[in-house]
Amino acid sequence: MLYVRPDAVFDKSKPIGGGAPLCFPQFGPGAMQQHGFARNCDWEVVGTSADVNPDDPEPAVMLRLRPNEYTRAMWDEAFEATYEVTLRRDKLKMELCVKNASETKPLDFTAAIHTYIEVTDAANAGVFARGLQGKTFLDKTESVDDPPRKTQTTRDVFFGLELVDRVYLDTEPETMMYVGSGAAVCVENTAGWRDTVVWNPHVNMKECYKNFCCVESAACGEPVVVPPGEVWRGETNLTVVDVV
């Protein structure tokens, strides 16, 4: 269900284009580099299901990121982030937790799981997102720095005919991405993820825009604020659903 772009490189020269990279502690442009630093860093493996049972039917891995010289140069904050990925029988679970390691001051950030979902052809009317009707969204195609607020009046968000770059605010727990093959990918969010980003670059990526659409779990309409010593948690589950 996940797509990796043909221009993706794995030599650490730039973030990997595809899959489900983490945007943290900044989503989009801002004071630091695009989408923050989490997707550029080597995370420490702190646990796997194989540690105790190599035959576990639901394998999992937990990764951890703490401040280092590279991160402090952009964001000098006390934090500890963990990212657990579990391959369940019927879904892919991804959970990001961020602890405010400061004893005195709050921690604020924005974040997203930048999920690339493979589709048959984004220019096909059968490829669309559903579950966002009636929601307010920020239209970043008109302005990245000061996007206007609009309302989703139609049932479906279609792709392929134009650039789509929207942040839907305070969304429902589920958004369905119909991939054009008689199946859909259900993107399920917990309370930590309160927004949903929908993106397709259209002809800005001529070589591959028809092959994927992004439906992303996000907390970016307003910054997350974590009190000293507390933990923020956001969980995403991806499930393939037969809709024929």
- Residue 89: per-residue pLDDT: 86
Alpha carbon distance 137, 128 (integer Å)? 16
What per-residue confidence (pLDDT) applies to 39?
96
What pLDDT, on the 0 to 100 scale, is given for residue 53?
59
pLDDT on residue 142: 96
For each of the chain's 244 residues, which pLDDT tens digit applies?
A: 999 999 999 998 899 999 999 999 999 999 999 999 999 999 999 998 865 556 667 889 999 999 999 999 999 999 999 999 999 989 999 999 999 999 999 999 999 999 999 999 998 889 999 999 999 999 999 999 899 999 999 999 999 889 999 999 999 999 999 999 999 999 999 889 999 999 999 999 999 999 999 999 999 999 999 999 999 999 999 999 998 7
Nearest by Cα to 112 from 237, 27, 222: 27
Domains in the chain: boundaries: 22-242
Q: What is the pLDDT of residue 96?
A: 98
The pLDDT score that the predictor gives to residue 172 is: 96
| Spatial CA neighbour of 38 closest among 1, 75, 93, 4 | 75
* Domain 22-242, CATH class in plain words: mainly beta
Predicted TM-score (pTM) of the model is 0.94
Residue pair 198/164 in contact (Cβ under 8 Å)? The answer is: yes
First and final CA of the chain: distance in angstroms? 17
Of 178, 177, 179, 157, nearest to 168 by C-alpha is 157
Task: Return the pLDDT at 51.
Answer: 57
